[in-house]
Amino acid sequence: MTATPIAHVRQNDSGNWIEHALEEHLREVSRRAGEAAECFGSSDWASLAGLWHDLGKYSQEFQHYIKTVSGYDSEAHIEGKPGRVDHSTAGAIHAVRQFGAHGQILAYLIAGHHAGLPDWHAAETGGKALSIRLGAEQNHLLDRIPAQAIPQEILTQPKPTTRLRGGAEGLHLWLRMLFSCLVDADFLDTEAFMDGDKAAARSGYLDIADLVDRFDKHMAALAANANNTLVNTIRANILRQCLKRAALPPGLFSLTVPTGGGKTLSGMAFALNHALQHNKQRIIYVIPYTSIIEQIAGIFREVFGDNIVEHHANLDPDKEDAHSRLATENWDAPIVVTTNVQFFESLFAARTSRCRKLHNIVNSVVVLDEAQLLPPEFLQPIADVMNQLASHYGVTFVLSTATQPALGSFQPFGSKPFRGLDNVREIMDDPDALYQQLKRVEVSVPADLQTPRDWQSIADELLQHPSVLCIVSRRDDARELHRLMTASENGKDTLHLSALMCGEHRSRIIRYIKWRLKKNKSLRVISTQLVEAGVDIDFPVVYRALAGLDSIAQAAGRCNREGKQDGLGHVVVFVPPKPAPPGLLRQAAQISVSLLTGSTDNILGRDLARQFFEHLYVRAPSLDKHGIHELLTQDARNCQIQFRTVAEKFRLIDDSAYQTILVRYGDNDILLGKLEKEGPQRWLMRKLQRYSVNIPKRLFTQLEKQGDVRGIWPGIYAQVSDKLYDKSLGVMIDSNIAPENLVG
């Protein structure tokens, strides 16, 4: 046993224990963290956090534990497990002793580098609140370390001088960015020691210039093979405008293109060329639903190969261990495809696994696809963080949608003013002209928007069309309508799509739908709204259950998309037997009723869309429902921030109502077995996210009790019963689940 203080241990193939010297680890984490923070001018803070983050490991208690008591436990450095030694508080206390109030900045980072950013006050974190951990009764955690144990050149450092970014309003984001640099540096250096091969595999991506070259060749090939149609001519013009505007200075942009105008690839053209001309480090493509990420990522993978990372599923293990630390994503690829939930929740997160990637958002181009789907109750904190990122972290945002939300600043009657996104530049020369040129459908709205129809009459009507898509707002509606359709001899081959099917299953169904449509074969599909964004399917007739005007416009984008019909495609809006679930979907449908009653002209026009979003935001009870802004800023001047409380409150999807499970589909049994045997690995979690489904917690509890699902790793659950997953419908749920849990 060596006398040199050590940070980690691992066992080699020969069974011998290899030690990771603590001083070497501190200096390397300091170097990595400082380099990561260069892009937002805060290297001195991040570097010092790295140097002091594991000072507690110099204690005799930790060294005795890792070398003797644990028997060289390779997870001895993981805090929070029984018997483990607290090694993160000592560095936090030292920072405050050295620099007073300024030391609190470092204290948040150091104290949280395992358990996550803490609250200052004892709200969500209780006794783990930073104010308590820095109290006099915790001083022994630093004082017990012999003075001579820590090299003086590590202990004695000058106070960082870089000023924070964004003032008091932006302190929380700056701290999270620093925290991200520290956590990523710590994870990477630990990974380099624990698994050098895995660390080496992280590099090797192409740079932006090479990706632009690949993209240009791909687009040239598409153009060479494209039919000379009006739609393709318009798409080529949209692409040209995107390439032209890419030279504009970084900031906030909108890309307003009707559905079917090719905005996915044109938006990427803008992002890539803007990144190349302004030296941005990556493109982050953010989409609203996990259900469509497979298609978007597939489009980009066809162009860019393995230079993209697809990150969406909420498969973070609930307890940190050596495996889960190394498996977390850090978005180091040049192209990242992710979801609104993953992107925005990470910007308000406290957990290390969520925060690790944040510094890689700096100096990037972020495309928000279908930006109209940002939830109104979180709109103020979302707008605030977007403005901070654009103003202080070199981020260019592109709001890409057919129906632009009204996100400029405004003053709702009797409410606080909304601090919106101002000075947003439109990439298209004349969006209104585009809407006229790309008009390919007529929308039929019932004269009576108050009287619902029954499902049988709707099924009978759908059966009269050889090819038709019907979109509803609830999963149980989709199943009931699918049941009625397949009960008819004429409708036995009707397909079903919903988010109760895993991503791999949905992808196969969507590929089959595209194949049948391309072959002009008859096809009937019943789907939830997951097909309304980013799924490029083209039906001659589309039915849509009454919904918000934005949803009706998106549904229309699945009709006569390529303009191949003789005349216009047909979109039929109907009033379903049950209203949309309570909340945003029902409110949006009610606004549509008020706007469409007595006037159904130009339903897909931009003016009506603007009115719809203005009504939606003004009627919202609050654009900051949980008081996120106040929690982050009220005591910011005293560096007192409720990080953990904010992270718990900022949930775009309330995961307290849901549990992610891994289903058995296709040939993924081998992957599930590997996870259970070896634990999380980054490549494995990337593959398994395609087999995840979110189910209501109440159903999950019932299934676990019955033995239909079981835990295969702490916090990760998988299907056991063969009857749980149906090859047509996905996860089989009972009819007693609350309607609001059956959306998507």
Confidence grade of residue 291 (pLDDT, cut at 50, 70, 90):
low
What tokens appear for 478 in the block? 């989709």
Confidence grade of residue 641 (pLDDT, cut at 50, 70, 90):
very high
Return the minimum-mean-pLDDT range out of 66-75, 166-175, 266-275, 279-288.
66-75
Phi and psi angles of residue 435, each rounded to the nearest 5 degrees, phi first: -65, -35
pLDDT per residue as tens digits for the range 488-541: 989 999 999 998 999 899 989 999 999 999 999 999 999 999 888 768 899 999
If residue 176 lies in a helix (H) or strand (E), which one and from where to where? Answer: helix 171-194
pLDDT per residue as tens digits for the range 668-721: 999 999 999 998 887 888 889 889 999 988 889 999 999 999 999 998 999 999
The closest of 630, 663, 655, 661 to 645, measured between CA atoms, is 630
Cα(137)–Cα(132) distance, integer angstroms = 8
649 three-class SS:
helix
If residue 708 lies in a helix (H) or strand (E), which one and from where to where? Answer: none
Superfamily of domain 208-314+321-435: P-loop containing nucleotide triphosphate hydrolases (3.40.50.300)
Which pTM was predicted?
0.87
Same fold, 6-200 and 440-603: no
> What are the b/e assignments for 583-601, b being 16+ CB within 10 Å?
ebbbbbbbbbeebbeeebe
The closest of 286, 347, 283 to 311, measured between CA atoms, is 286
Whether the pLDDT of residue 475 is over 50: the answer is: yes
Whether the pLDDT of residue 123 is over 70: the answer is: no
| Strands 282-287 and 17-21, bridge-based pairing | unpaired
What tokens appear for 298 in the block? 């597939």
Whether the pLDDT of residue 75 is over 80: the answer is: no
Residue ranges covered by each domain of the chain: 6-200, 208-314+321-435, 440-603, 654-741
> Would the CA dihedral through 473, 475, 479, 482 be positive or negative?
positive
Class of domain 440-603 (CATH, top level): alpha beta
Q: What was the pLDDT predicted at 200?
A: 62
pLDDT per residue as tens digits for the range 579-606: 988 888 899 999 999 999 877 678 888 8
Q: What was the pLDDT predicted at 469?
A: 98
Cβ–Cβ under 8 Å, residues 412 and 617: yes
Higher pLDDT, 325 or 566: 566
Cβ–Cβ under 8 Å, residues 107 and 92: yes
Cα(700)–Cα(658) distance, integer angstroms = 8
Cβ–Cβ under 8 Å, residues 333 and 326: no
The closest of 661, 660, 655, 659 to 721, measured between CA atoms, is 661
The closest of 161, 62, 21, 38 to 105, measured between CA atoms, is 161
Confidence grade of residue 288 (pLDDT, cut at 50, 70, 90):
confident
Cβ–Cβ under 8 Å, residues 706 and 697: no
Q: What was the pLDDT predicted at 165?
A: 85
* CATH code that applies to domain 6-200: 1.10.3210
pLDDT per residue as tens digits for the range 166-201: 888 999 999 999 999 999 999 999 988 887 776 666
Q: What was the pLDDT predicted at 344?
A: 97
Whether the pLDDT of residue 553 is over 60: the answer is: yes
Q: What was the pLDDT predicted at 124?
A: 59
Cα(632)–Cα(628) distance, integer angstroms = 6
Cβ–Cβ under 8 Å, residues 660 and 694: yes
Q: What was the pLDDT predicted at 71?
A: 55
Percent of the chain with pLDDT over 90: 63
